[in-house]
Structure formats: structure tokens, C-alpha cells
Amino acid sequence: MFNVQDKRFKIAHKEALIGVVLVIINFAIWFGFAYGLGSGDPLEYDYVFGFPAWFFYSCIAGTIFMIIAIWIAMKLFFKDISLEEEDEQK
Amino acid sequence: MHWSVIIPLLIFLIIIFGIGIWANRQVRTSNSFLQEYFLGGREMGGFILAMTMMATYGSASSFIGGPGVAYNTGLGWVLLAMAQLPAGYFVLMVLGKKFAIVARRIEAITLIDFLKKRYDSHTIVILSAISIIIFLFASMTAQWVGGARLIESLTGLSYINALLIFAVAVLAYVIIGGFRAVALTDALQGSIMIVGTVILLIATVIAGGGVDTIMQGLVAENPNLVTPFGAEQNLTPLYVSTFWILIGLGVIGLPQIAVRAMSYKDSKSLHKAILIGTIGIGTIMFGMHLIGVFARPVMPGIEVGDKVMPLLTLEVLPPVLAGIVLAAPMAAIMSTVNALLILVSSTVVKDIYLNYINPKASDAQIKNRSFWVTSIIGIAVVIFAVKPPELLIMLNLFAFGGLESAFLWSVVFGLYWKKANKYGAISSMIVGLTLYIVIYRFAENIYGMHSVTIPIIASLITFVAVSMIAQKVKKIEDYHF
């Protein structure tokens, strides 16, 4: 029975791949802002809402951006499928 | 004794207890004891799934240890902590639907069930069971020590009494209620963790006179506190980045997390859990560690890092509110211990007893053994926690990375790579575990990376190489789920 290719797996594989893409984006934002803006002299940092700019964009704005991105990705790509056996098989 | 702090904590314990008793009624009326006791009947909705993932993952170190390190290191440590954000969505997206479908098809209750059906190998079952039992036993003991220390410092009770109160509370509801009690109490505990974090963060900012003032205070003390590199400038980009492997991506390989990805109800619950879980983990990890940094100008001169969070709470909040906020680390510790306890117990009952000792056990026998095994493990942990041996402390410290080194690729390739086979899985487990133990003992932070990095990469290469070679030599058929 394991050799039956289940249609639902196609969907599951695509969604897993979206997870990988999201993590790469997440890492890029996090790393880029932190070390891009934070590598200079700390006495000359810019501040946004009281936080150093690197910290604000990397840890605060970046996190909020990711949450929105995850929400949009799920609205657009994630499908509602049955997890039980009887539906799609046979 | 601060009674106004202790009363909210007591009320919290009583509610948790009540949930255990309620869940026990489900256990008694269920027609499949194993599914109910160890997976809660696969009935978790989105909110509960999100909270139980978060609460299991967030432990003593998120609420006690982490803020203490942040206090000494500065904003760089908050940056590092944010590598945990993917734990909220990555695990559920990657394992997500496929794991849940496969687990239902093969009626898997534990992670080892899945590995056993996929690779068809006793070596894997035994190797996995041993790693789970040893590593998670050590983790539980450490969490328990942390919980007892926390109660000790809040109430003035002796360490032993604090440990007993804590242990009896947790054991009682886990033993009688099983996974359902664990997941439901996790939901309450997770909510307390989020609410507590938010309250304490706001109170700390107010006590510090606003974010601007706090930042100026930090810069005046040591400008490096506001850089990504840490107060001593020892947080290199490479080191901080490799934490993504340990606390963000490798989390897929943690059995206590993976098992949750097979116990939810339907796809809707999964979607909801991904969003709520990410918001929850983001809030807690960002909030608690930032609180640690902000505590520095508000309460300078705290020498023991672990005391930053409790002392700060008592300082900046009125007593009743402090009681609620201090329930958060207690909740974090309890929810981690209860998940580990039920997992170790399922490993012993399902993976060892039912596989090798008594495959024909009746339902009544299984039920009886499960209660006993859970109780005995729980009590054994308490006994060890009275005076934790050196070895256990060491095992706990690398339990996270050790489990990831052992399980990550076996789970991921088992699900997504049809050429994966048992030879690849076994050799990658052995290579991962051995390398991790060696690096951890003798060359921590090798090449400036976290010690989990090389074992994970090496076990990946081993897995792929050995699977391919075995395929050629033995002509193993591709395996589909």
C-alpha cells in the first residue's frame, strides 16, 4: 500500500518547500539588517523608536514582516486537505 | 513569605490539577487507550497545538537562564534569541501535513513508530529509544532542579520541600491525565507565558523611564551592550548564525516537538497553529530576552544571572501581578517536564515493552503498565533531582543538540526522500551522536561555530552517501509513503 502515490503528498511537499523559502527570507532579513547596520561605531548609531536601527529592523520590523509573510503564504498557498485515510484512497 | 505573590501561584496549581482530573475522565472512557493516553486521541485544535508546541519548546532557559545572559551581554543576545522564530512555523510547515497523514496511515503513536515502519530496523528502534530515554531523562532532571530553585527563592521553603511540591503537582496530572492533560495544561501555561512576558516588558520599560532613557543608560555603561556583538564583543556573526541550526531548524529533530506534529485534528488546526505559534514564540523570545537587557539600567549589579527575572518582577510589579508573572517561568518548566515525561513513558511502553517484551499485551495490561511506568520515571527523576549527578548535568546540556544530531535527517529524509534507507539512517545517527559528544567534550565552538553545526552537516553527508551506496550494492527498492 505504500507504493500508491497519494495526491495529497504533492500539496504537502509544496507546503514544506514554502517553509524552507520562508526560513531563508527570515534569515536574510535578520542577518542583513543586524550586521549591515550594526557593524559601525555604536556611538554613531541611528535610533528608531528608541531602539538602535539595526535592532529595530532586524528583530522588531523583521519579525512583524515574517508574521505577515507567513499569514499571506498560508492564505495563498496552503490547502485544506483531509488527513484521514478513507477520503482520497481507493 | 510574600503571601500576595504565592496565592496567585497556588490558584494556578489548583487549576492545572483540575485539568488533569478532567482529562482522566477522557482516558477512562476512550476506546483506544494508547492513542488517547499518548496522543490525546489526535484531537488538538489550532490554539492548543500552537500553545503546546510553544510551551514544550520554551523552557526554564527562556525565562530564567536566557534573560540572565541577556542582562550581561546586551542586545546581541536578543538577536541570537530571535533565531528561534522559525521554531514556530518551520517545524509545522515541513513536517506538517505529510507527517500527520503518514502517522495516521501507519497508526504511529511515537516518533519511533514512524522510524520503525519507515526503515524496518530493530537497530534504529533500540538506538532511538536509548537516546530518547537518556537525554530526556537528563533534561527533565535539570528542569526540575530549576523549578525547585525558583519556588525555593520565592517562598523561602527548603530546596527539598520546593522540589516535592513541584514534583507532586506535575506528576499527579500527567500520570492520571496523559497527553490530553499535558496539551490542555500547556494551553493555559502557554497563555500565561505570553501574558506574563507582555506585562513584565511594559512594567520594565515604565520603571526604566522609557526606551530612550534605558538605551542611553546602556550606552553610558558600555556602548557594546547595544551592538549585535555583545558586551565583550565575542558574539561573531558566524557563531550567532549557527544558532539557527540548533534552535531554529534542527528543532524538527526533537522527538518531543515532532510528536506534536502528528497529534493535531485537521489542516485548519495546523494553519491556525502556525500563525499563533509564530506570534507566541516571537513575543516570548523577544520579550523575555529584551527584559533581561532592560533590567540592567533598572536594577544594576545583579550578580547571579538566574535571579534577574524573579528579582526584577518583584521590584517593578505590585505583588499580585508579580504572582501572575512569576507563574510564567513555573508554567514554562512544568510544560516542558510534562511533555518529556509522557514522551519517555511512551518510549518505554510503546517502543520497548510492546515491541520486545510483550507484543500481545491486553488493553488492561497496557493501561496498567503505562500508569506504572510514568509514575516510576517521574519518581526516579525526583530522586535524581535531589542531588543531580555530574553526568546528568552534562547530558542535559547537550540533550538538545544530541537529539537533533541523532534524529533530524532520519525524520526529514524518511518523509521526503524515497531512496533513504536504514543503512543511511543508522550510520548518520551514529556519526551525528559520536561527533557531537566528541566535539562537545573536547572542542566546543570549533572553528567559531556552535558545537551542533559540524555533527549535523556530517550526519547529512553520511546519510546521503551511505543510502546511495547501500542502494547500489543491495538493490533496495525505492520506498514511497
Q: Is the pTM of this model over 0.80?
A: yes
| Nearest C-alpha in A relative to B85 | A63
Half-sphere exposure of B456 (CA within 13 A, CB side): 23
Asked if A3 lies within 8 A of B480 by C-beta distance, the reply is: yes
Q: Who among A1, A45, A67 is closest to B226 (CB)? A: A45
Q: Who among B101, B226, B271 is closest to A52 (CB)? A: B226
Where does A1-90 have alpha helices with state H? 7-38, 53-55, 62-77
Q: How far, CA to CA in Å, does B228 sit from each of A83, B256, B305?
A: 44, 32, 20
**Given pLDDT bands bounded at 50, 70 and 90, which one contains residue A4?**
low
Judged by a CB distance cut-off of 8 A, whether residue A31 touches chain B is yes
Q: How far, CA to CA in Å, does B88 sit from each of B33, B55, B93?
A: 30, 11, 9
Number of Cβ within 10 Å of residue B60's Cβ equals: 24
Residues of B whose CB is below 8 A from A10: none
pLDDT of residue B234: 87
Residue B59 CA to residue B330 CA, distance in Å, equals: 9
Residues of B whose CB is below 8 A from A11: 97
Asked if B219 lies within 8 A of A82 by C-beta distance, the reply is: no
Question: Which residues, including other chains, have CB under 8 Å from residue B438's CB and lie 6 or more apart?
Answer: none
Judged by a CB distance cut-off of 8 A, whether residue A81 touches chain B is yes
Judged by a CB distance cut-off of 8 A, whether residue A57 touches chain B is no
pLDDT digits (tens, 9 = 90+) for A19-55: 999 999 999 999 999 999 989 888 989 999 999 999 9
pLDDT of residue B480: 65
ipTM of this predicted structure: 0.90
Per DSSP, A41 falls in state -
Element (H, E) at B330: helix B319-346
Residue B296 CA to residue B93 CA, distance in Å, equals: 38
Asked if B79 lies within 8 A of A31 by C-beta distance, the reply is: no
- For the CA atoms of B440, B134, B402, B248, the dihedral, rounded to the nearest 10 degrees, stands at -130
Residue B173 CA to residue B183 CA, distance in Å, equals: 11
Which residue matches cell numbers 538538545?
Answer: B400
Residue B97 CA to residue B438 CA, distance in Å, equals: 36
Residue B284 CA to residue B198 CA, distance in Å, equals: 8
Asked if A54 lies within 8 A of B228 by C-beta distance, the reply is: yes
Asked if B215 lies within 8 A of A5 by C-beta distance, the reply is: no
Judged by a CB distance cut-off of 8 A, whether residue A76 touches chain B is no
Number of Cβ within 10 Å of residue B473's Cβ equals: 9
3-class secondary-structure state, position A87: coil
Asked if B96 lies within 8 A of A54 by C-beta distance, the reply is: no
Evaluate whether B70 touches B296 at the Cβ level (below 8 Å). Answer: no
| Nearest C-alpha in B relative to A10 | B98
Evaluate whether B463 touches B428 at the Cβ level (below 8 Å). Answer: yes
Distance from CA of A66 to the nearest CA of B (A): 9
Which residue matches cell numbers 539512517?
Answer: B425
Cell triple for residue B480?
514511497
Residues of A whose CB is below 8 A from B78: 55, 59
Evaluate whether B112 touches B305 at the Cβ level (below 8 Å). Answer: no
Asked if B266 lies within 8 A of A71 by C-beta distance, the reply is: no
Q: Is B6 exposed, middle or buried (0-12, 13-18, 19+ CB in 10 A)?
A: middle
3-class secondary-structure state, position B44: strand
pLDDT of residue B1: 56
DSSP structure string for B96-111: HHHHHHHHHHTT--SH
Distance from CA of A41 to the nearest CA of B (A): 9
The residue of B73, B80, B82, B222 whose CB has the most chain A CBs within 10 angstroms, and thus the best one to mutate to test that interface, is B82
Give the phi and the psi of residue B41 in degrees, each rounded to 5: 70, 20
Question: Which residues, including other chains, have CB under 8 Å from residue B430's CB and lie 6 or more apart?
Answer: B127
Per-residue pLDDT of chain B (481 residues; tens, 9 = 90+): 577 778 888 888 888 888 888 888 888 888 788 888 888 888 889 999 999 988 888 887 888 889 999 999 999 999 999 999 998 899 999 998 999 999 998 888 899 999 999 998 999 999 999 999 988 998 888 888 888 888 887 778 888 988 888 888 888 888 888 888 888 898 998 999 999 999 999 999 999 999 999 999 999 999 999 999 998 888 899 989 988 888 888 889 899 899 999 889 999 999 999 999 999 999 999 999 999 999 999 999 888 888 899 899 989 999 888 888 888 888 888 888 898 999 999 999 988 998 888 888 888 888 888 999 999 999 999 999 888 887 777 777 778 888 998 999 999 999 998 889 999 999 999 999 889 888 887 877 778 788 888 889 999 999 999 999 988 887 777 776 6
Q: How far, CA to CA in Å, does B127 sit from each of A84, B9, B303, B347?
A: 30, 40, 42, 12
Cα B371 to the center of its chain, rounded Å: 23
Distance from CA of A7 to the nearest CA of B (A): 11
Asked if A63 lies within 8 A of B282 by C-beta distance, the reply is: yes
Evaluate whether B414 touches B363 at the Cβ level (below 8 Å). Answer: no
pLDDT of residue A3: 44
Distance from CA of B339 to the nearest CA of A (A): 24
End-to-end CA distance of chain B: 58
Evaluate whether B439 touches B446 at the Cβ level (below 8 Å). Answer: yes
